Structure 1
Amino acid sequence: MKAIGIALAAALLLGATGAAHSQAYPYKPLRIIIPFGAGGAQDIVARSFNVELANALGQPVIVDNRPGAGGVVGTVAAAKSTPDGYTLLLAGVSHQINGFLYAKPPYNPLQDFTPLSYVGSTGYVLLVPAALPVKSVAELIRHAKSRPGELNYASAGVGSAIHLSMAYLASLAGIDMLHVPLKSGADVLIELIAARTQATTVPINVARPYAQEQRLRMLAVTGPRRSKFLPHLPTVAESGIPGYEFESWLGLLGPAGMPRNAVERIDSEMARLLQSPAILERLNRQGVESATLTSAQFAERLGKEQSRWADIVKRSGVKLN
């Protein structure tokens, strides 16, 4: 009788477990890992839609900041999580960059993840101090070529997006500029306003408040097309460096092997939310231009961009241990 009781209890337990997994997705809270600290761009973007996503899914959606190693700590945590649809990652361009920066890559940007929802993109603005005698990208190139190795550009650290965007620009333009790595984007602006550095790029949402700053001059945007936020600025490509394009993206990923029903649910709900005027306004404040891509189209975009990011990192000459 005792053996029968144990067998019956085991059967009931297995049945309960199976029933839980057969419930419609989602049946418990979700979390979105942000691989950077609170208050940063990705954190703000995640919080611009997590409440509405929770309402749509009928479960809480928790924003979980996991900063460290330029985004690697949180990204690896997401990659190693159970692929059941309850742990997501709001990734950005560093997701792909980090796959090429390290001698031993900590993860594979494509194979270790499931693309879910493309949120949007944001470009950068090429800035110089007003004291520098240049008013266009072409003039900056001529000025730098006449003074090889004398001009410098600042970034928020070795391997940062700002660093790579400027190293890529210098490589395509054939100019020799010294890289000055600083601790943060705020430090970069301080040095630029003081004219102690001669050029940099900053995200569009960071640059916009400085549009009327008399000590800075905006030369161009780095994206493939003019920005709706600063439409008067040309692109770097149309200003003298054909083929130049540097744009960050934001999107939701999950670990590899997520169930199809979870992928489709996140994809469809996010597509609907990204039509919301309230959410679009929040994204606009962060300089994010949204676009409607299915999860399959998002995956295709990431795949196509891999070789370009590999080339950009290679041109920078950066390789981290």
Structure 2
Amino acid sequence: MTFFERTMLIGAAIFALGTGTSHVQAADSYPDRPIKIVVPYSPGGFTDILARQMSKQLSDKFSQPVVVENKPGAGTIIGAEAVARAKPDGYTLLMAVTTTLSSNPHLFSKLPYKISDFKPVALTGLTPFVLVANPSVPANNVRELIELAKKEPGKLSAATLGNGSSTHLVLSMLRGATGAEILDVPYKGASPALSDLVAGHVDLFFDAITTSLPHIQAGRLKPIAITSEKRSEAAPSIPTFREEGTPEMLAYSWYGLLAPAGTSDAITEKLNKAVNEALASPEIQEKFRTEGAESHPMSAKAFGELIEEHSRTWGKVIKDLNIQLD
């Protein structure tokens, strides 16, 4: 071996040792400045609410500001792309949803990000969808709604969070399962969709029960059915689609934190532990129970497996319904 070759090997070893040490030091001191959570929707929806709950919990645990930045649009693609390109240091995170990694890769042949651009951090929640209607809609259950939709095809309209969003796919599931023709009206976020639904500008919306429940309780909206296996503890009077004779309508949306690929295991494990501790707290457990969401603390690895499982489920739905957005 020449002197030059020996020098290169020694230099590479020193660099690797130094890099490993710096990663450990970075994890030990993490976080030493504010963390940003990017939400790929407008303020007001469940994803935004959940991110803000997590930001408060993490701020308390880390004694550092954790701020939420909303980047809505293009079915979470805009927000996801921003995080995919961020520095993998644990200071920019994405509050991802089912759409981001479990359905978009099946809907678009070209995305500005890849699944491998992200590293799972922690599952923050699961929620079924509740189909809510403006009180003026002359249907009070699934059977009446389908009969109405078939009697006047295209007259009923449903808000969604844009092409390829979970709400769009669940609406497509309903149309595919029942043959009902319901007009899809895309919005940039749940908050403006709910506002227009309450105002009567659209007729229906597949929403997270968390954000719809106050409107249901106040009589501003009426529930039709929920996509869970069993009735929600938060709203036990709402029947499931299965009870209503449409068992195909079983669907959940996941919410979770992702980091850019390349973020160190030590940092993601630190974040995972902090999130799971927050989810296990009596305050979060009670809030989730009363609002119809479910919390399931798990490892980052298990969260990654859940993303893949949902990807297979939604991929089959998308393929069966022949949905392609580019």
- Residues 100, 313 of structure 1: 8 Å contact kept: yes
Rounded to whole Å, the distance in 1 between the matches of 2:177 and 2:295 is 28
**Cα distance change on mapping 1:316 and 1:128 into 2, 3 Å:** farther
Q: Which residue is 1:82 aligned to?
A: 87
Q: How does 1:38-57 map to 2 (within 5 A)?
A: 38-57=43-62
Rounded to whole Å, the distance in 1 between the matches of 2:181 and 2:160 is 16
Rounded to whole Å, the distance in 1 between the matches of 2:187 and 2:58 is 37
Rounded to whole Å, the distance in 2 between the matches of 1:35 and 1:187 is 15
Q: Tell me the alpha carbon deviations over residues 288-312 of structure 1, each in whole angstroms, 9 at most, x when there is no partner.
A: 3212222222111111111222233
- Residues 125, 293 of structure 2: 8 Å contact kept: yes
What is the identity, as a one-letter code, of the residue corresponding to 1:104? K
Is structure 2 residue 106 aligned with structure 1 residue 100? yes
Rounded to whole Å, the distance in 1 between the matches of 2:65 and 2:198 is 43
Q: Which residue is 1:126 aligned to?
A: 131
**Cα distance change on mapping 1:101 and 1:268 into 2, 3 Å:** same
Q: How does 1:277-296 map to 2 (within 5 A)?
A: 277-281=282-286, 283=288, 287-296=292-301
- Gaps spanning 5+ residues in structure 1: where? 1-13
- Residues 224, 247 of structure 1: 8 Å contact kept: no
Q: Which residue is 2:214 aligned to?
A: 209
What is the identity, as a one-letter code, of the residue corresponding to 1:91? A
What is the identity, as a one-letter code, of the residue corresponding to 2:237? H
Q: Which residue is 2:232 aligned to?
A: 227
What is the identity, as a one-letter code, of the residue corresponding to 1:289? E
What is the identity, as a one-letter code, of the residue corresponding to 2:120? P
Q: Which deviates the most, 256-265 or 54-63?
A: 54-63
Q: How does 1:114-263 map to 2 (within 5 A)?
A: 114-181=119-186, 185=190, 188-189=193-194, 192=197, 197-212=202-217, 214=219, 216-263=221-268
**Cα distance change on mapping 1:165 and 1:56 into 2, 3 Å:** same
Rounded to whole Å, the distance in 2 between the matches of 1:84 and 1:143 is 53
Rounded to whole Å, the distance in 2 between the matches of 1:241 and 1:123 is 15
Q: Which deviates the most, 298-307 or 125-134?
A: 125-134
Rounded to whole Å, the distance in 2 between the matches of 1:310 and 1:290 is 24
What is the identity, as a one-letter code, of the residue corresponding to 2:174? L
Q: Which residue is 1:265 aligned to?
A: 270
Question: Structure 1 residue 317: deviation in Å?
Answer: 5.4
Question: Structure 1 residue 59: deviation in Å?
Answer: 4.4
Q: Aligned residues, how many?
A: 309
Q: Which residue is 1:69 aligned to?
A: 74
**Cα distance change on mapping 1:148 and 1:290 into 2, 3 Å:** same
- Residues 48, 282 of structure 1: 8 Å contact kept: no
Question: Structure 1 residue 91: deviation in Å?
Answer: 1.0
Rounded to whole Å, the distance in 1 between the matches of 2:215 and 2:38 is 31
- Residues 26, 59 of structure 1: 8 Å contact kept: no
What is the identity, as a one-letter code, of the residue corresponding to 2:177? L
Give 1:23's match in structure 2, choosing from 21, 25, 38.
25
RMSD: 3.3
Rounded to whole Å, the distance in 2 between the matches of 1:291 and 1:283 is 11
What is the identity, as a one-letter code, of the residue corresponding to 1:217? K
- Residues 164, 316 of structure 1: 8 Å contact kept: no
- Residues 100, 310 of structure 1: 8 Å contact kept: yes
Question: Structure 1 residue 261: deviation in Å?
Answer: 1.8
Give 1:276's match in structure 2, choosing from 268, 273, 281.
281
- Gaps spanning 5+ residues in structure 2: where? 1-14
Rounded to whole Å, the distance in 2 between the matches of 1:262 and 1:294 is 13
Q: Tell me the alpha carbon deviations over residues 39-73 of structure 1, each in whole angstroms, 9 at most, x when there is no partner.
A: 44333322213243244345443434334433222
Report the 3-state secondary structure (helix = DSSP H, G, I; strand = E; otherwise coil) of the residue aligned with 2:57: helix
What is the identity, as a one-letter code, of the residue corresponding to 1:247? Y
Question: Structure 1 residue 119: deviation in Å?
Answer: 0.9
Question: Structure 1 residue 286: deviation in Å?
Answer: 6.0
What is the TM-score of this pair, normalised by structure 2? 0.79
**Cα distance change on mapping 1:290 and 1:142 into 2, 3 Å:** same
**Cα distance change on mapping 1:131 and 1:297 into 2, 3 Å:** same
- Residues 158, 318 of structure 1: 8 Å contact kept: no
Question: Structure 1 residue 130: deviation in Å?
Answer: 4.0
Rounded to whole Å, the distance in 2 between the matches of 1:54 and 1:240 is 45
Identity across the alignment (%)? 35
**Cα distance change on mapping 1:122 and 1:281 into 2, 3 Å:** same
Give 1:300's match in structure 2, choosing from 301, 305, 311.
305
